[in-house]
């Protein structure tokens, strides 16, 4: 029995599930076709916050899918999305704002849970219009310096296209005392987010 299959059997779980957890494949890698990648499109982006409106008339409960915890309105932020360039040798980002790809409109709303924020986004990238409701979590307040915060946002996406069944947006976000623009306060970091978007093709 293949090592992954044997491990799955010993744990009493399905082979495909445990294979991903163990970092091994239930079938030999040689059998994986290069066509697998054709089932999804992946974007790697850098966001730049360019505006903030509070209260917002655009961020309604009907649009965002959640109500403000306090007050009459939700917080509205506007972002630019930039393409990034990476080094082929090690994957390190060499240019964090190569080309302006478009804008995103977002809504934020506090939740009863400390450090957890409701999040809604609408954007168009490469001619694809997408939107979604998710959450942002403050993971590390005052990290890497006082007045900054490391945040993760996760949003399932709906795509206005017959070619896609949906997608997922995940951000690695850094907030600072200067929320707008590309420069952080204190300086030297990349804000607001390095984001990945995976869109899954129907097949």
For residues 40 and 69, membership in a common domain is answered with: yes
Together in a domain, 149 and 178: yes
Question: Do 4 and 80 sit in the same domain of this protein?
Answer: no
Question: For residue range 12-68, what is the model confidence (pLDDT) as tens digits?
Answer: 444 443 344 344 544 443 333 344 568 999 999 999 999 999 888 999 999 999 998
Tell me if the bond preceding 114 is cis, omega within 30° of 0: no
Domain count, the chain: 2
Instruction: Check if the beta carbon of residue 192 is closer than 8 Å to that of residue 49.
Output: yes
**Within this chain, do residues 1 and 57 fall inside the same structural domain, yes or no?**
no
Residue 11 has pLDDT above 80, yes or no: no
Domain check: are 22 and 40 in the same one?
A: no
Tokens of 54: 């509070």
Range of the domain at 2: 1-32
- Measured CA to CA, the distance from residue 12 to residue 99 in angstroms comes to 49
Q: Is the pLDDT of residue 157 over 80?
A: yes
Provide the CA 169 distance to its chain's centre, in angstroms: 3
For the four alpha carbons of 57, 58, 64 and 69, in that order, the dihedral sign comes to negative
Q: Is the pLDDT of residue 7 over 70?
A: no
Looking at residue 28, what is its pLDDT?
40
Based on the fold, state whether residues 6 and 85 are members of the same structural domain.
no
Query: Are residue 191 and residue 169 in the same domain, yes or no?
Result: yes
């Amino acid at each position: 029995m293949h090592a992954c299959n044997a491990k799955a059997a010993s744990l009493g779980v399905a082979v495909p599930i445990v294979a991903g957890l163990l970092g091994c494949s239930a079938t030999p890698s040689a059998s994986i076709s290069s066509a697998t990648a054709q089932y999804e499109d992946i974007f790697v982006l850098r966001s730049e916050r360019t505006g903030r409106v509070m209260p917002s008339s655009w961020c309604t409960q009907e649009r965002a899918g959640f109500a403000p915890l306090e007050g009459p309105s939700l917080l509205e932020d506007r972002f630019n999305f930039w393409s990034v360039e990476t080094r082929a040798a090690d994957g390190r980002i060499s240019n964090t704002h190569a080309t302006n790809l478009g804008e995103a409109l977002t809504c934020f709303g506090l939740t009863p849970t400390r450090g957890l924020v409701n999040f809604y986004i609408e954007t168009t990238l490469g001619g694809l219009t997408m939107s979604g409701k998710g959450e942002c979590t403050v993971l590390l307040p005052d990290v890497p310096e006082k007045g900054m915060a490391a945040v993760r946002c996760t949003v399932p996406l709906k795509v206005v296209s017959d070619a896609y069944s949906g997608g997922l947006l995940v951000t690695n976000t850094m907030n600072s005392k200067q929320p707008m623009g590309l420069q952080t306060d204190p300086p030297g970091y990349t804000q607001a987010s390095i984001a990945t978007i995976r869109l899954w093709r129907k097949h």
